[in-house]
């Protein structure tokens, strides 16, 4: 059905890496969601990401690396960043770091800022693709801007179609919500986006309180700060205990009458992995005009999930 989906075999990963080197776009799996990738050093290819997604060019992209040594090319490192990288990479943790040099090739990736956003994904296909490509890969989620993030190759194809040269199919994403973003450009670390690694875990490791910031949606310093993001086409109402008759209800924990339940056992990891896929299913149904979602605890991965559904439900 979708001619640009290819199983993530070594041969297909090599073909995808060659496409990256030639300035093409490749969608690939990570542990969080599927990413739409291009070489960070090819401004034309990066521009094609923005065009394919319909993404505002003032919204910076995450640069994905496969080895910590990649950081030396463009980011200013310190002991704190290296310690966090050693502990949590590869994994769903993204750093905002100061750019090492004023390399104009990185201006579009960085949205003109003097910082760069970088992480090392915890997925064998992603790491193999980056290593095979020989360059860091800029990659936002592989979907149209402000719509539901993709957790399967099929989701990518349905959202972006032929705008992607190759979609590497590595199965469903395990974490299911995007990475935690931590700004390390100041003495005190700042959480810019809750994600796959809990705030409490990072505070315990750093042995300090982390400031929380939603950022400026009109001038984001990292991805995921737009007021409306991850949104379905159906209106979404959140923190709902009793849905209306015209609402498709997504539950959590012990929840009677739910059409889908993120986790009947109230397991936040299971719920996070199901979040985008269930939002997509709710959006595809035609019986109900609206979507409602049960309350989700605002601890651990729940902080990230609440951030996503708040932005998904935002109405101007």
**Residues 239-273 pLDDT 10s:** 999 999 999 999 999 998 999 999 999 988 788 77
- pLDDT tens-digit readout, 57-103: 657 899 999 999 888 888 888 889 999 999 999 999 999 999 887 67
130 in helix, strand or coil? Answer: helix
Q: What is the CATH number of the domain that holds 200?
A: 3.90.870.10
What is the per-residue pLDDT across 126-151, written as a single tens digit (0 to 9) for each?
A: 999 999 999 999 999 999 987 888 99
Q: Where are the beta strands (DSSP E) in 47-201?
A: 62-64, 93-98, 115-119, 137-138, 166-169, 180-183, 190-193
247 inside domain: yes
Give the pLDDT score at 246. 96
SS3 at position 163: helix
Residue 201 shares a structural domain with residue 253: no
Burial 25-44 (b: 16+ CB within 10 A, else e): bbbbbbbbbbbbbbbbbbbe
Residues 133 and 97 in one domain: yes
Q: What are the phi and psi torsion angles at 103 (to 5°)? A: -85, 110
- Structure confidence at residue 1 (pLDDT): 66
User: What is the extent of the structural domain holding 207?
Assistant: 5-212
CA distances from 184 to 82, 90, 95, 223, 304 (A): 11, 18, 7, 15, 19
- The rounded distance, in Å, linking the Cα atoms of 308 and 214 is 12
pLDDT for the residue 221: 53
CATH number reported for the structural domain that contains residue 286 in this entry: 3.40.50.11030
pLDDT at 220: 46
Nearest to residue 296, comparing CAs of 315, 316, 278? 278
Are 44 and 127 members of one domain? yes
* Stronger pLDDT, 275 or 261, i.e. the higher one: 261
Residue 108 lies in a domain: yes
Kindly indicate the confidence band of residue 44, based on its pLDDT and cuts at 50, 70 and 90.
confident
Does residue 229 lie within any of the structural domains? no
Determine the Cα–Cα distance for residues 212 and 201; give it in Å rounded to an integer.
Answer: 14
Q: For residue 69, tell me if it sits in a domain.
A: yes
Question: How many independent structural domains does the chain possess?
Answer: 2
Please report whether residue 57 resides in a domain.
yes
pLDDT of 182-232, one tens digit each? 999 989 999 998 888 999 999 999 999 999 886 555 554 555 545 555 678
User: Which one of 145, 178, 212 terminates a domain?
Assistant: 212
């Amino acid at each position: 059905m979708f001619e640009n989906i290819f199983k993530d075999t070594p041969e297909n990963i090599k073909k995808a890496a060659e496409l990256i080197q030639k300035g093409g776009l490749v969608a690939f799996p990570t542990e969080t969601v599927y990413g739409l990738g291009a070489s960070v050093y090819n401004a034309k290819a990066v521009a094609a990401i923005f065009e394919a997604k319909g993404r505002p060019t003032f919204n910076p992209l995450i640069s994905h690396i496969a080895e910590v040594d990649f950081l030396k090319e463009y980011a200013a490192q310190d002991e704190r960043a290296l310690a966090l990288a050693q502990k949590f990479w590869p994994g769903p943790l993204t750093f905002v770091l100061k750019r090492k040099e004023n390399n104009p090739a990185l201006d579009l990736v960085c949205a003109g800022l003097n910082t760069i956003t970088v992480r090392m994904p915890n997925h064998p296909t992603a790491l193999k693709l980056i290593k095979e490509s020989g360059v860091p890969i800029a990659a936002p989620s592989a979907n149209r801007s402000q719509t539901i993030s993709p957790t399967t190759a099929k989701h990518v194809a349905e959202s972006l179609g032929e705008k992607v040269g190759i979609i590497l199919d590595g199965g469903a994403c395990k974490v299911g919500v995007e990475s935690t973003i931590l700004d390390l450009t100041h003495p005190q670390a700042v959480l810019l986006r809750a994600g796959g690694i809990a705030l409490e875990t990072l505070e315990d490791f750093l042995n300090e309180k982390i400031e929380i910031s939603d950022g400026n949606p009109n001038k984001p310093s990292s991805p995921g700060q737009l007021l409306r993001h991850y949104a379905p086409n159906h209106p979404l109402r959140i923190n709902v205990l009793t849905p209306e008759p015209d609402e498709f209800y997504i539950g959590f924990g012990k929840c009677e009458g739910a059409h889908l339940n993120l986790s009947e056992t109230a397991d936040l990891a299971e719920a996070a992995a199901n979040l985008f896929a269930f939002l997509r299913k709710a959006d595809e149904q035609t019986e109900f005009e609206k979507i409602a979602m049960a309350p989700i605890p605002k601890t651990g991965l729940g902080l990230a999930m609440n951030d996503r559904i708040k932005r998904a439900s935002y109405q101007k």
